[in-house]
Structure 1
Amino acid sequence: MLKIQTDWIRLVDELHQTALSVSLKSDQIDDLGARLRRTELLLPVIGSFSAGKSSLLNAFLEKDVLPIGLAPETELATELRYGEDPHALAMRPDGTGERMEVDALKSIKARAREFTHVQLFLDDARLKAIEPLVLVDMPGFGSSLEAHNKAIGWYLPRGAHFIVVINVVDGTITQSLQRQLDDVHTMGRDMSVLLNQTNLRADDQVRSVAASIREQLQLYYGIDEAVMPVGTDGHEVLTQVLARIAPDRIVRRIFADEIKALTESLLEQIRISERALLNDKRTNDHALEELADGLGHIEQRRDCMIADLRRQQLESVVERALKTVEYELMDAENELLTAALAGNRDSFSRTFAEVVRHAVTRTLKEQMDEVSRAIVRDFGAALADLEPTMAQLGSGTDWLKNLTERLNQSLQRTGDMLAGWSDSLATHNARQLEARKQETGWKPGQPLPQVNYRNIATIVAVTTQVINPLIELAIIFLPEILVFIREGTQREQMRKTIRDEVIPSFKRELRGKLTALLAEQLDNMVQQVAADFAREIETQSAALQAHRDNAAASAEQTNATLALLAQAREHILRIAKEVQ
């Protein structure tokens, strides 16, 4: 465990004890402490299958654990974890796992469709030394389309830092890799870039390729870091890269704002508690009535907002997404055209799916950020009448402004909608899987029954095998798209087919499915923001409720309680300062 984790767990435990000492609500403190304790930082290692990712990780471990070969061997993302009892745990879509021997990793490729990813536990001091960092061997771009997108869909929103491996023979960031790096950049993740197998080229060639890639990184992403060359020294180079990642900074990025928001909420409770102690019972009762009315306004606005968003926002969000998909598919026309003319359906499918994933990921994340802010702003407006009451309770005139800012920050931290879709749809998929088990008379030990993609697509628009649900749409409907691809077609005729038949056909399929998916997610977002506002008001109500009957208390008792609250404030302010 990192020192910052140990330090912050201690601070959160102190917050918990302080809150209990003066009867403040501590539910969020408990949740935060639990997440700090179990935090791990996933480091997906991405690149083409020929980039040498598995070989690099084997070099780091100084033994051949991950399978390598001339054809793509990594069909399942494999997490390298420390464990005194070496074994592999193949994880299924329903969250269960199948324990296997480590050697079974070499043959699991044939069963890849049964699992989402593999956790490989090794009694290796190197893996223990880098905890809570977890290296992930990802399927390369040459692996099956389903395997590649399953892995990307799972780890893109969950990866803390990405290690990009480029084969020196490629000589550049390919269009396929660039789209994937764009997605990583869109998610706000950092990356380290390694130029692998440099022992196969002369030093001047290596320097030239490294300089070219560095220029691309600066141009596209503003990254101004050296591209690390890797020859036969894979262990040493990867060790250096891991040392530079600065996991403390990642943990700080994940938790610092959340701890700050928590301390602000606790200080707010203390201010209200102090004012309640000095108010008479009638004043406190009136304030409680006002807060209860505020909760009622939230419920009323929530129901209206769901209908308003579906009527006013849904269509425009879908249209912007569809236009972006069309534009980027047209921009990739030459790639698609080359694959189509060669009759290379696999290459066409891969490029098509990558473009769709890239386009939808970027445009929807941008739009969901805008929509979430509008939702918070709308709920805030519904609570405007509470501001005088909160000012009288010691919260100041900026209470509503501070509250909406905290909730906006919370959505930015935890409201990654692509990750949210994976989670919500995973629940749906688990229900479907259970239904299929009953239908087929499945028994433990038997292969899991296959869930029918097309049936699920008509129910909730997309399935989940813990992959990006929108790219699944492309996979589902590629068979229909591929009927347009015919060998021997002339170039201009094929170009016209792609523009006039392939792209419009996919847009028609995407429109209905994306509309249903977005409607579900907009509803979920409204419900989440409403619950966040309601929790804040209920927290303040609880602080007020705890002291509403203080009119009967003696001055000595009141002063003693005020002294405890003042002491708690000092403790919380100290903790907030330590986290900065």
Structure 2
Amino acid sequence: MPGFNSPHDSHNQAILRYLRRGAHYLFLTSVEEGGLHRQEIRRMDEVLDMGRDFSVLITKSDIRPQSDVDDLRGFIDDQLSTCFGKEDRCLATGFRTDTSLSQAITELDQDSILLNINKDALLNFYFMLDGTLNSSIDALNNEEEENRRAIRELQQGMAAIEREQEESIRKAKAKVAGDKARRILSSVENELRNSTDELARAAATDRDAFGRVLSDIVRSRMSRAFQATTAELGNSLAIDISQSVQLSMPSLSFSEDWFDHVVSTIKVQVMDALLGAVGSPSLEKQGDGMMGGKLSQLGTMIASLAPHPVMKAVLAILPGIVGTLLDSMAEQRKEDRLKEEIAHTTIPDVLRQIAPVVDEAMLTISEQVISAISSEFNDLLKEKTEAIEALQKQSEIGDAMRKDISEKLVACKQVNDETVQGLMNVWGQE
């Protein structure tokens, strides 16, 4: 994968596409840099947002005294602790040092990385199996009339989901999507205004440097704001649907872990779509009948209806805004004057030009998230209905066999619960 901060658009598009495919990231920073810059910290934030981890490797350490290298390592370790709460120490490498790039990779916790990559697929399988086992156990322990009543309630619940979906889409078109788009634009504006000094320094250097920093800030903040806003929408909608379903069948409850995983899956799918990573391993693993068909295809649907919204927004502001600023300041590129121009002209121009892209993308994403979550709830109730109906057809099962099957299913559920709890402990999600 090309390195970050490439001056070539094709390299940056490749980075966006393959970010989600990485298992672990090594950030290389030269001993001459003196520490991590804001642009690198933004990238690290994105990596963590995507559910991946990273390590930092100081290069060219043999061109400085060892005491200077040790001081720099301590400074970067403090930066990582302050910004991300990381306790891992960065490594240093050079032509005449003991640590090489391959050694740094070898020292990574490969088991932890492997588990992290497969976490979503494993949790998908757990929730699918858990739902089927619970429905089958309940059906075996219920009388025939109780099962018939349960089927009627499940059907009423599916009808309630359909009504909630229609109402949510109506609200999204009328107001919700627009409100969330404005929140994303506000987030981008705040990030740009907090980065005015950084932008002015880049503008004082040259056009390319300013263009790279500006586009990086917009792209990074937009991606994260879309992801956070969509997760919030998904969580709110999941609560609304569950409450609507429970009015029809009060006995039905949805676990908090299942809720959290639905929202987490939405975040992953939306980020894949935003990064143009549709078809990445994260999507391929989730698309094989694991967590609801429609939810597992959310990223693909968004990408097909609103392709590359972040890249479109970035391309909308370049090179016009960059050229306008630097042409107007061609004779006098003092940072104070540049900061004033950026604050009063550049930032409003950026927001004006990306607003239509954000509005269109947010409406599309909202509609697809609503449809996917509704489908996920519907599939869950449908699975419960089918499990009960399958057992209802086996009317010849005697009490002894029914008890035996129930005990075996309970044992399977215990193994399933213990397995996922063990994985949760490994991931630090107790």
Amino acid at match of 2:258: R
After superposition, give the CA deviation of every residue in 1:276-326 in whole Å (9 maximum; x if it has no partner).
xx523x543333222112111111111111121333422222222212212
After superposition, give the CA deviation of every residue in 1:526-552 in whole Å (9 maximum; x if it has no partner).
11111110111011100111122455x
Q: How many angstroms apart in 1 are the aligned matches of 2:98 and 2:387?
A: 56
After superposition, give the CA deviation of every residue in 1:258-289 in whole Å (9 maximum; x if it has no partner).
344234213212223313xx523x54333322
Select the residue among 476, 482, 486 that pairs with 2:322: 482
Q: How many angstroms apart in 1 are the aligned matches of 2:402 and 2:80?
A: 58
Aligned to 1:246: 109
Aligned to 2:139: 273
The 5 A counterparts of 1:195-274 are: 195-232=58-95, 237-253=100-116, 254-255=119-120, 256-274=122-140
1:535 is the counterpart of 2:379? yes
Structure 1: stretches of 5+ with no match in the other structure: 1-76, 78-137, 392-398, 428-458
Cα separation, partners in 2 of 1:146 and 1:279, compared to 1, 3 Å: same
Which TM-score applies when normalising by structure 1?
0.62
1:408 is the counterpart of 2:260? yes
Identity of aligned residues (%): 19
1:566 is the counterpart of 2:407? yes
SS class of match (2:57)? strand
Amino acid at match of 2:233: V
Q: How many angstroms apart in 2 are the aligned matches of 1:184 and 1:161?
A: 9
1:383 is the counterpart of 2:245? yes
1:502 is the counterpart of 2:366? no
After superposition, give the CA deviation of every residue in 1:202-255 in whole Å (9 maximum; x if it has no partner).
211211211111111111111122211112278954344334432322343415
SS class of match (2:414)? helix
Cα separation, partners in 2 of 1:330 and 1:283, compared to 1, 3 Å: closer
Q: How many angstroms apart in 1 are the aligned matches of 2:153 and 2:392?
A: 14
Cα separation, partners in 2 of 1:463 and 1:146, compared to 1, 3 Å: farther
Kindly indicate whether the alpha-carbon contact (under 8 Å) linking 1:306 and 1:526 is maintained by their aligned counterparts in 2: yes
Cα separation, partners in 2 of 1:413 and 1:461, compared to 1, 3 Å: closer
Kindly indicate whether the alpha-carbon contact (under 8 Å) linking 1:461 and 1:513 is maintained by their aligned counterparts in 2: no
Q: How many angstroms apart in 2 are the aligned matches of 1:290 and 1:527?
A: 22
Structure 2: stretches of 5+ with no match in the other structure: 281-302, 423-430
Select the residue among 49, 54, 71 that pairs with 1:186: 49
Larger CA Rg, structure 1 vs 2: 1
Q: How many angstroms apart in 1 are the aligned matches of 2:131 and 2:305?
A: 39
Kindly indicate whether the alpha-carbon contact (under 8 Å) linking 2:77 and 2:89 is maintained by their aligned counterparts in 1: yes
1:151 is the counterpart of 2:17? no
Kindly indicate whether the alpha-carbon contact (under 8 Å) linking 2:137 and 2:410 is maintained by their aligned counterparts in 1: no
The 5 A counterparts of 1:504-523 are: 504-523=348-367
Q: Cα distance, 1:476 vs. partner?
A: 3.4
SS class of match (2:254)? helix
Structure 1 stretches of 4+ with a deviation exceeding 6 A read: 424-427, 459-462
Provide the aligned C-alpha RMSD in A: 2.8
SS class of match (2:348)? helix
Q: How many angstroms apart in 1 are the aligned matches of 2:348 and 2:372?
A: 35
Select the residue among 208, 214, 218 that pairs with 1:352: 214
SS class of match (2:25)? strand
Tell me how many residue pairs correspond in the alignment. 391
Kindly indicate whether the alpha-carbon contact (under 8 Å) linking 1:315 and 1:515 is maintained by their aligned counterparts in 2: yes
Which TM-score applies when normalising by structure 2?
0.82
Amino acid at match of 2:133: L
Cα separation, partners in 2 of 1:495 and 1:229, compared to 1, 3 Å: closer
Q: How many angstroms apart in 2 are the aligned matches of 1:477 and 1:267?
A: 53
Kindly indicate whether the alpha-carbon contact (under 8 Å) linking 1:269 and 1:543 is maintained by their aligned counterparts in 2: yes
Q: Which has the higher contact order (CA 8 A, sep 6+)?
A: 2
Cα separation, partners in 2 of 1:234 and 1:370, compared to 1, 3 Å: farther
Cα separation, partners in 2 of 1:322 and 1:263, compared to 1, 3 Å: same
SS class of match (1:169)? helix
Cα separation, partners in 2 of 1:521 and 1:237, compared to 1, 3 Å: same
Select the residue among 166, 169, 183 that pairs with 2:29: 166
After superposition, give the CA deviation of every residue in 1:72-112 in whole Å (9 maximum; x if it has no partner).
xxxxx2xxxxxxxxxxxxxxxxxxxxxxxxxxxxxxxxxxx
SS class of match (1:313)? helix
SS class of match (2:219)? helix
Q: How many angstroms apart in 2 are the aligned matches of 1:565 and 1:155?
A: 46
Kindly indicate whether the alpha-carbon contact (under 8 Å) linking 2:276 and 2:307 is maintained by their aligned counterparts in 1: no
The 5 A counterparts of 1:40-439 are: 77=1, 138-141=2-5, 143-232=6-95, 237-253=100-116, 254-255=119-120, 256-275=122-141, 278-280=142-144, 282-342=145-205, 344-388=206-250, 391=251, 399-402=252-255, 405-413=257-265, 415-416=267-268, 417-422=270-275
